[in-house]
């Protein structure tokens, strides 16, 4: 292709001569720029707004950046179902603080291919250390905890333990629950996922204390002196994941029992698209929001936090929608600044950080009864009636309603798109829409309606009344499709400008974004009708 494109150029240069060739080379090298208002410190040290020019990425560079971290995976299972997954992420911070993970656990002795499928996105803050650690440990931790539910509770639940006490509430002492009932029961599965999240965060928060305890236990060590463990091989590896923080959003598909679980810690969001057949043979997408944004602006979270601390702290815990006016999310992994006492923070700074010349933010003067941040997720459960089984869907209360896809995304996507817009964009993509579509046209092409779960937006109110502009249906990867439309869609210049803002400034205009879309096919889908729209439409 390059050779064929180059040959006419050489021929034309011979004809028009050296001046034209020189002009062509000049225009090719000239860098396009755009102006941006940025905040800087003036001569008096006070912040001022100034206009600066920055290089504008070319269309090719924008495409490369949008698709650089995009992947699509198809997994065929023995039951005939094909699981589809697309994931893409786009950095604003450098390095990116988001992370993601997925995994498939095959159930033993299952000729039908019953599986547990996991998908997760992590949104770090204050650094990438916690989110990257979670991308490697969260799904394995949940899997190991769920393994205790596979067999009879009498064998696997320790007497005197929490689950043992819980079991006694449901079954008489002499009764033995049926084999496998625990891993089929959403109540027990939800509790187990919550336990796994809490235990993992406990490991993260206690790792520095464990190193200190082991050092003080050595013979001959002065236990009254504060040791310098800054050169311990695990000093910073233990401290950084505890000091930074991360939200985590995980979806677990249990195909054996046709259950979907969403575990949300933080303000990432999960949204499902539920296909509703209509009497005229057509259909509509119902928007089912599967999580709440867990910030200080969420009234449910505000009430919870106030109930967990003394009454005299009730009016001080949340300020401007944030914990003590600082951290916005109220559920997260890490964030030791809101979990360790002031004394512990001061001690661990001396032990691990000072000798490495690493800083630690001082705790808020309002910190009195930590922890103020919890890793415990809120669990949402849905039945997956649409999955194929040998038995008919007799238990489905609405056979015309089928959950068909789930979107998991960090808050960088939801800052720009509503839950309804995301479902319409994915629904249109799966139906085969192509081209540039006016925003006010998409609701006609891909109608949606409000579902069981409602969006509880954890951010300050934003004006989204403008229906001008257009959506772009140009990407094969549906996650890239969502990210492109979050930052301008059919407005190519807007997309170019937003992606051209340097990393040290872009955070004021857009956040890191990670998006995973999961759907499945079982061979019964009708061929999607593809409609192509031109820019003039």
Q: What is the pLDDT of residues 228-242, one digit of tens each?
A: 999 999 999 999 999
Locate 211 and state its tokens: 């190193």
Q: What is the pLDDT of residues 457-493, one digit of tens each?
A: 666 655 555 568 999 999 999 999 999 999 999 999 9
Distances (CA, A) of 437 to 421, 468, 528, 532: 13, 11, 18, 9
Q: Which of 346, 372, 398 corresponds to the end of one domain?
A: 372
Length of the chain: 537
Could you tell me the pLDDT band of residue 454, with boundaries at 50, 70 and 90?
A: low
Residue range 19-31: mean pLDDT, rounded: 53
Indicate whether 176 pLDDT > 50: no
Q: Which of 344, 372, 400 corresponds to the end of one domain?
A: 372
Does 155 share its domain with 171?
yes
Three-state DSSP state, 89: strand
Does 197 share its domain with 257?
no
Does 274 share its domain with 208?
no
Does 401 share its domain with 471?
yes
Distance between first and last Cα of the chain = 31
Q: Read off the CATH number of the domain in which 258 is found.
A: 3.60.40
Does 46 share its domain with 70?
no
CA-closest candidate to residue 258, choices 194, 201, 186? 186
Does 176 share its domain with 84?
no
Phi, psi of 231 (to 5 degrees): -95, 5
Residue range 15-42: mean pLDDT, rounded: 66
| 382 close to 253: Cβ distance less than 8 angstroms | no
- Is 95 inside a domain boundary? yes
Say if residue 163 is preceded by a cis peptide, omega within 30 of 0.
Answer: no
Does 276 share its domain with 389?
yes
Does 455 share its domain with 355?
no
DSSP helix, strand, coil percent of the chain (3-state; round to 5): 35, 25, 40
Q: CA-CA distance, 393 to 400, in Å (whole number)?
A: 11
Distances (CA, A) of 156 to 149, 305, 330, 441, 513: 7, 34, 33, 56, 40
Could you tell me the pLDDT band of residue 21, with boundaries at 50, 70 and 90?
A: very low
Could you tell me the pLDDT band of residue 156, with boundaries at 50, 70 and 90?
A: very low
Phi, psi of 150 (to 5 degrees): -70, -40
In this prediction, residue 456 carries a pLDDT of: 67
Mean pLDDT of the chain: 86
Domain range spanning residue 393? 61-127+246-293+379-537
In this prediction, residue 106 carries a pLDDT of: 86
Residue range 213-238: mean pLDDT, rounded: 96
How many domains in the chain? 3
Q: What is the pLDDT of residues 315-347, one digit of tens each?
A: 999 999 999 999 999 999 999 999 999 999 999
| 88 close to 515: Cβ distance less than 8 angstroms | yes
Does 472 share its domain with 492?
yes
| 242 close to 259: Cβ distance less than 8 angstroms | no
CA atoms within 13 A on the CB side of 252: 28
CA-closest candidate to residue 473, choices 428, 407, 528? 428
- Is 255 inside a domain boundary? yes
Indicate whether 20 pLDDT > 90: no
Locate 523 and state its tokens: 């061979």
Of the chain, the percentage scoring pLDDT greater than 90 comes to: 71
- Is 123 inside a domain boundary? yes
Does 67 share its domain with 26?
no
Does 417 share its domain with 354?
no
Residue range 301-313: mean pLDDT, rounded: 97
- Is 101 inside a domain boundary? yes
- Is 322 inside a domain boundary? no
| 469 close to 485: Cβ distance less than 8 angstroms | no
Q: What is the pLDDT of residues 39-96, one digit of tens each?
A: 888 888 888 999 999 999 999 999 999 999 999 999 988 878 899 999 999 999 999 9
At CA 269, angle to CA 266 and CA 271, rounded to 5? 155
The H-or-E segment that residue 186 falls in is helix 186-216
- Is 45 inside a domain boundary? yes
Indicate whether 532 pLDDT > 90: no
The pTM for the full model equals 0.86
Say if residue 95 is preceded by a cis peptide, omega within 30 of 0.
Answer: yes
| 290 close to 405: Cβ distance less than 8 angstroms | no
Q: CA-CA distance, 235 to 353, in Å (whole number)?
A: 8
Does 238 share its domain with 250?
no
Locate 295 and state its tokens: 């910030």
- Is 461 inside a domain boundary? yes
- Is 326 inside a domain boundary? no
Centroid of chain to Cα 225: 43
Strands (DSSP E) along 3-57, which ranges? 33-41, 47-55
């Amino acid at each position: 292709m390059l050779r064929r494109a180059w040959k006419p150029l050489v021929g034309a240069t011979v004809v028009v001569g050296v001046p034209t060739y020189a002009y062509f080379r000049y225009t090719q090298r000239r860098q396009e720029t755009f102006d941006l208002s940025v905040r800087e410190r003036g001569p008096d040290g006070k912040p001022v707004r100034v206009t600066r020019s920055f290089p504008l990425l070319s269309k090719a560079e924008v495409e490369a950046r949008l698709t650089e971290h995009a992947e699509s995976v198809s997994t065929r299972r023995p039951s005939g179902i094909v699981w589809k997954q697309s994931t893409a992420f786009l950095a604003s911070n450098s390095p990116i603080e988001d992370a993601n993970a997925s995994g498939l656990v095959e159930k033993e002795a299952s000729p039908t291919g019953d599986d547990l499928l996991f998908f997760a996105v992590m949104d770090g803050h204050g650094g990438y250390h916690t989110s990257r650690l979670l991308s490697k440990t969260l799904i394995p931790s949940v899997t190991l905890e769920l393994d205790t539910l596979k067999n009879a509770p009498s064998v696997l639940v320790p007497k005197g333990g929490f689950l043992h006490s819980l079991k006694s509430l449901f079954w008489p002492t002499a009764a033995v629950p049926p084999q496998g009932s625990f891993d089929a029961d959403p109540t027990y599965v939800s509790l187990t996922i919550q336990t796994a999240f809490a235990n993992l965060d406990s490991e993260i928060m206690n790792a520095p204390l464990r190193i200190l305890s082991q050092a003080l236990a050595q013979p001959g060590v002065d236990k009254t002196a504060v040791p310098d463990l800054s050169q311990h091989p695990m000093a910073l590896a233990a401290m950084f994941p505890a000091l930074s923080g991360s939200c985590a959003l995980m979806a677990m598909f249990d195909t054996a029992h046709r259950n979907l679980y969403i575990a949300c810690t933080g303000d990432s969001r999960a949204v499902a698209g539920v296909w509703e057949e209509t009497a005229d043979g057509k259909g509509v997408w119902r928007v089912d929001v599967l999580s709440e944004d867990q910030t200080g602006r969420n009234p449910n979270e505000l009430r919870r936090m106030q109930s967990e601390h003394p009454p005299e702290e009730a009016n001080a815990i949340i300020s401007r929608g944030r914990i003590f006016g600082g951290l916005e999310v109220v559920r997260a992994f890490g964030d030791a600044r809101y979990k360790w006492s002031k004394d512990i923070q001061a001690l661990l700074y001396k032990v691990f950080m000072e000798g490495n010349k690493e800083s630690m933010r001082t705790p808020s003067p309002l910190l009195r009864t930590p922890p103020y941040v919890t890793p415990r997720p809120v669990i949402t459960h849905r039945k997956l009636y649409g999955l194929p089984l040998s038995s008919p869907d007799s238990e489905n209360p609405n056979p015309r309603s089928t959950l068909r896809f789930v979107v998991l995304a960090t808050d960088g996507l939801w800052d720009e798109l509503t839950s309804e817009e995301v479902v319409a964009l994915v629904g249109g993509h799966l139906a085969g829409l192509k081209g540039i579509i006016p925003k006010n046209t998409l609701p006609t092409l891909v109608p949606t309606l409000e579902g069981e779960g409602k969006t509880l937006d954890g951010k300050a109110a934003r004006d989204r009344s403008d229906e001008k502009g257009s959506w772009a249906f140009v990407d094969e990867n549906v996650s890239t499709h969502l990210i492109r439309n979050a930052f301008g869609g059919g407005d190519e210049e807007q997309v170019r400008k937003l992606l051209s803002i340097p990393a040290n400034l872009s955070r004021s205009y857009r956040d890191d974004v990670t998006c995973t879309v999961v759907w499945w096919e079982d061979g019964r889908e009708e061929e999607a009708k593809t409609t192509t729209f031109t820019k003039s439409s």
